[in-house]
């Protein structure tokens, strides 16, 4: 999954997020919050650029955190998302 490349991992994580949203009958416009966890050393500005391109004009709450490690050593990013449709909340994670 793009070992060592934040760009490839961000692209994959955002594709995963689209898939999870789609399975729930939701889209990007239903996102209300995103938490992006970056392994220490990953460039947060690069991650934010991918998020901006992914979200377009939609502006959910976004938190970007730098952490020591993720579930697997080769992971540089993990994204947690909260989406809402008709007062029903969905929690999705893409790694």
Count of domains observed in the chain:
1
Neighbouring residues of 53: CB distance < 8 A, sequence distance ≥ 6: none
pLDDT at 86: 75
Mean pLDDT in residue range 64-91: 87
Residue 14 lies in a domain: yes
How far apart CA 28 and CA 47 sit, in angstroms, is: 17
How far apart CA 57 and CA 36 sit, in angstroms, is: 19
Q: Confidence class of residue 3 from pLDDT cuts 50, 70 and 90?
A: confident
- The per-residue pLDDT for range 14-66, each reduced to its tens digit, is 999 999 999 999 999 999 999 999 999 999 999 999 999 999 999 999 999 99
Domain span at residue 12?
6-94
How far apart CA 2 and CA 44 sit, in angstroms, is: 17
Residue 70 lies in a domain: yes
Whether the per-residue pLDDT at 95 is higher than 80: the answer is no
- Alpha-carbon dihedral sign for residues 14, 20, 21, 25: positive
The residue ranking higher by pLDDT, 35 or 91, is 35
Q: Give the CATH number, domain containing residue 11.
A: 3.30.1330.40
Q: What is the pTM of this model?
A: 0.85
């Amino acid at each position: 999954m793009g070992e060592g490349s934040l760009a490839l991992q961000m692209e994959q994580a955002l594709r995963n997020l689209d898939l999870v949203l789609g399975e729930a009958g939701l889209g990007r416009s239903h996102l209300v919050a995103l938490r992006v966890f970056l392994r220490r050393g990953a460039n947060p500005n690069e991650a934010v650029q991918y998020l901006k391109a992914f979200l377009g004009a939609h502006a959910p709450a976004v938190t970007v955190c730098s952490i020591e490690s993720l579930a697997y050593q080769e992971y540089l990013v993990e994204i947690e998302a909260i989406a809402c449709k008709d007062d029903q909340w969905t929690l999705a994670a893409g790694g």
